[in-house]
A and B are shown apart, each in its own frame.
Chain A
């Protein structure tokens, strides 16, 4: 009898524990607006924990290894087919959620998740070039800024060590399409990069400060990050290479082995609300893909040249894909050659 009582009270305790609702989000570092999370917690009573990662590969490896305890992950579009084919994501059907009507139709039937059965848009942006216009006043809408740099900028260039993006930019500079296996173009790419590297100063992440303080004058960078640089130094400008630039989108997905599935789905629905999507953007300074979020955005974002793509360059943006394994091996070899 006593045993039965203990068992019952233990069960009751466990049930009580499960009722304290929680949600574990696994997202890129310095990417989630704390105000957004506070608002979600206040509205739903769910306790949110955020863990950071620094690359798609890190996130994929950690979740694949299991035992992570996360409910939500925010991979880039090029990785989402991998996540889906590896069976890591839950088909949470955002397309049937209450707020789905707010998603910009442009972002609904996307190649990586047709009809949005798994993912919800988080933010999207571009990878292009950054130039300090105090030191160079020529055309900045070209990859020549880092592939064949003007004399003024030599020795002050930084290229982000993001293999996929830089390879795609260089391939398009030589007239190819990203993920090409065409040796002729790849040879030009390799030789071109190796030659160009002599004019570079670094291949480093996290150089917001160095651009703001003019230790670096030009390079390859993301639009939102360049936006944050310009807020600190008005000479910093963002260029969209006319040979082709990279467009990407990070999307919110629920993990197949999530423990808090309902809470995770609530979060997916929550961020499709225009006011909440605007909160995401106002922090990391990228566009969000939710219609009607504009009125809630900070004023400086509506006209920012880093966010509003010039009309004549709109069709030059290319979504880069996860390249097939054999092509990926070639790219790794070229990348190693470049940094040897």
Chain B
């Protein structure tokens, strides 16, 4: 009898729990469907395609082939048929990688002081500055990139100003150079560095800096030992945000660099376009994703260690 009485509420409880679980799943369904449709399924197509043979005029043939993957790293020399490293792919990847590192470095150099400046303004003014930082996002990337061309042309704003002031006698060749690419990339990705660093600096407790000075730390030591460790998560987040899209950057290097040297993104495009080798293109894209994944894992490791240390 007592059993029966205690049984009933328990059953009700179980029922409620089941309902709860079902509601949770139902609520999660849209998210799961979207993730599957727009992230997992396309990725799955890419993985499958990378193991097929290229079709004669684009697309794929439904035959299993490892050529897509092996060609990423090794290729037969087209003239003497010896097997060798696909140094074209590797050096193009290296170019994209070093461009991303340089861009990240330059955005750090310009972004951190900017973020610091904004975060140390009175609250009302901060919002104005932040607003100004986001203004470039209102215009399409391609339009902004072409506007930069106008600045660096032989008879562009920069050259004409320098000529007028008398600093140079003949226009400097800036268009279609590595300088132009670095300039454009830094300009495009700067806000992605400024915003997370700003968030970190804003949270900084300036009494700690005062305390450091009280303990006879100079400006440099206070910065290195107190400020830097505190804003490090912001700097790392900003670096990741800049580094990852830079790796796949496509428009800016092409328009400002003149397209003479391929970036990794252009190499992938070539395989799906005129190259008609979709499996190789799919394999190269997955390789790029792997590189991004490695840097993300590194980020998670570093930040989680920070937290457990603190």
* Chain A residues in the interface with B (C-beta under 8 A): 55, 57-58, 60-61, 64, 82, 86, 155, 158, 161, 163-164, 183, 186-187, 197, 200-204, 210, 213-215, 322, 325, 328-330, 332-337, 339-340
Contact = CB atoms under 8 A, between A and B. Distances in A.
B92 interface: yes
B121 interface: no
B58 A201 contact: no
A99 B197 CA distance: 68
Contacts of A82: 57
A336 B91 contact: no
Nearest to B177: A201
B88 A202 contact: no
Nearest to A163: B274
A131 B179 CA distance: 26
B232 interface: no
A202 B79 contact: no
A157 to B, nearest CB: 10
Contacts of A203: 258-260
Given A201-B176, A201-B258, A164 B153 contact: no
Given A183-B78, A333-B78, 14 more contacts: A57-B273, A57-B274, A60-B57, A61-B272, A164-B274, A203-B258, A204-B254, A204-B258, A333-B88, A336-B88, A339-B261, A340-B87, A340-B88, A340-B89
A328 B273 CA distance: 12
B258 A183 contact: no
B153 A213 contact: yes
Contacts of A163: 274
A201 B174 CA distance: 11
B149 to A, nearest CB: 8
A210 B173 CA distance: 13
- Size bracket, chain B contacts: 35 or more
A82 B58 CA distance: 11
A197 B54 CA distance: 30
B245 interface: no
B276 interface: yes
B274 A215 contact: no
Contacts of B57: 60, 82, 86, 322, 325
B262 A339 contact: yes
A214 B154 contact: yes
A55 B277 contact: no
A334 B173 contact: no
Interface of B: 54, 56-59, 75, 78-79, 87-89, 91-92, 153-155, 173, 175-176, 254-255, 257-262, 266-267, 270-277
A335 B270 CA distance: 9
B79 A187 contact: yes
B258 A215 contact: no
Contacts of A201: 173, 175-176, 258, 260
Contact of A340 (B58, B79, B92, B276): B92
A339 B260 contact: yes
Contacts of A183: 78-79
A57 B56 contact: no
Given A60-B58, A213-B153, A325-B57, A332 B260 contact: no
Nearest to B154: A215
Given A60-B58, A340-B92, A186 B78 contact: yes
A210 B102 CA distance: 28
Nearest to B276: A328
Contacts of B176: 201-202, 204
B276 A336 contact: no
B173 A155 contact: yes
A98 to B, nearest CB: 34
21 contacts: A57-B276, A58-B273, A60-B57, A60-B58, A64-B58, A163-B274, A197-B260, A202-B258, A202-B260, A204-B259, A210-B153, A215-B155, A325-B54, A328-B276, A332-B270, A332-B271, A332-B275, A332-B276, A333-B78, A336-B89, A340-B262
A215 B259 contact: no
Given A57-B58, A58-B273, A340-B92, A161 B259 contact: yes
A114 B92 CA distance: 43
Contacts of A215: 153-155, 175
A190 to B, nearest CB: 8
Contacts of A202: 176, 257-260
Contacts of B79: 183, 186-187
B273 A336 contact: no
A202 B56 CA distance: 30
A161 to B, nearest CB: 6
Contacts of B88: 333, 336-337, 340
Nearest to A187: B79
A333 B75 contact: yes
Given A55-B274, A328-B276, A61 B58 contact: yes
Given A183-B78, A201-B176, A325-B57, A336 B270 contact: yes
B78 A334 contact: yes
Contacts of A325: 54, 56-57, 276
Contacts of B259: 161, 202-204
A220 to B, nearest CB: 13
Contacts of B92: 336, 339-340
A61 to B, nearest CB: 6
